[in-house]
Copies of this chain bind each other. A is one copy, B any other.
Amino acid sequence: MDQDDPAAAVDHGNLAKLERVGAGSDIAGEIYGLVGKSQFFAEFSREDISILSGYMEVYRAQPGEILIREGDQGDFMVLIVEGEVDILKKSRRAEQQHMTSAGPGMTLGEMSMIDGEPRFATCMASQPTTFAALTRDNMAKIILDHPGLGSKILVKMVTMLSLRLRQTSARLLRVMDEARQQV
């Protein structure tokens, strides 16, 4: 599915251009309410969420606004609290391809938050979306101030990245296997 370049929709896909709603601690209850539907937070206690949300900021994005832009230097991850976000990636011919969509409880942008590499894909709100952002600096503070919680978050990231890498590798091998059979 090709789309118009969403870069045209908003000047900058960074947090500063989006509406800041407040501190994460203001919506700790709502974040805790996501635990049931969130792969990421499945094993987090109410206290874990209460501490973590104190290190997060809450933003709102309108449909068409960009949370994360492919190629940007990113230093934060996103937890979707409400709404829906499209994940888009440019093809070699510079067309935007729709990869998948993400909803409440899902996390985006963990990779660049940790390793500082350019964003792999663009995340654009497809509905009015509320999300909590965790920056690399605040993640580092959590590791220092609350090492137990810091490790729990990192272990969860490793688990989720492992799952995605297994799925993506399996898909790649399948596609390559099919291509070989056609030759």
Contact = CB atoms under 8 A, between A and B. Distances in A.
Interface string A169-182: 10111111111000
Interface in A141-183: 143, 147-148, 150-151, 154-155, 157-159, 161-166, 168-169, 171-179
Contact of A154 (B91, B97, B120, B158): B158
A175 B172 contact: yes
A120 B148 CA distance: 29
Q: How many copies does the complex hold?
A: 2
Given A173-B89, A176-B175, A114 B158 contact: yes
A89 to B, nearest CB: 7
Nearest to A116: B159
Residue among A91, A120, A161 with max Cβ neighbours from chain B (10 Å): A161
A5 to B, nearest CB: 17
B169 A114 contact: no
A162 B91 contact: no
A154 B110 CA distance: 13
Contacts of A97: 173
Contacts of A175: 172, 175-176, 179
A114 B164 contact: no
Given A169-B120, A177-B92, A179-B175, A115 B154 contact: no
30 contacts: A91-B173, A92-B174, A92-B177, A110-B158, A110-B162, A111-B158, A111-B166, A115-B158, A115-B159, A115-B162, A117-B162, A117-B163, A117-B166, A120-B166, A120-B169, A143-B151, A154-B157, A157-B158, A158-B161, A161-B162, A161-B165, A164-B165, A168-B168, A168-B169, A171-B172, A172-B175, A175-B175, A175-B176, A175-B179, A179-B179
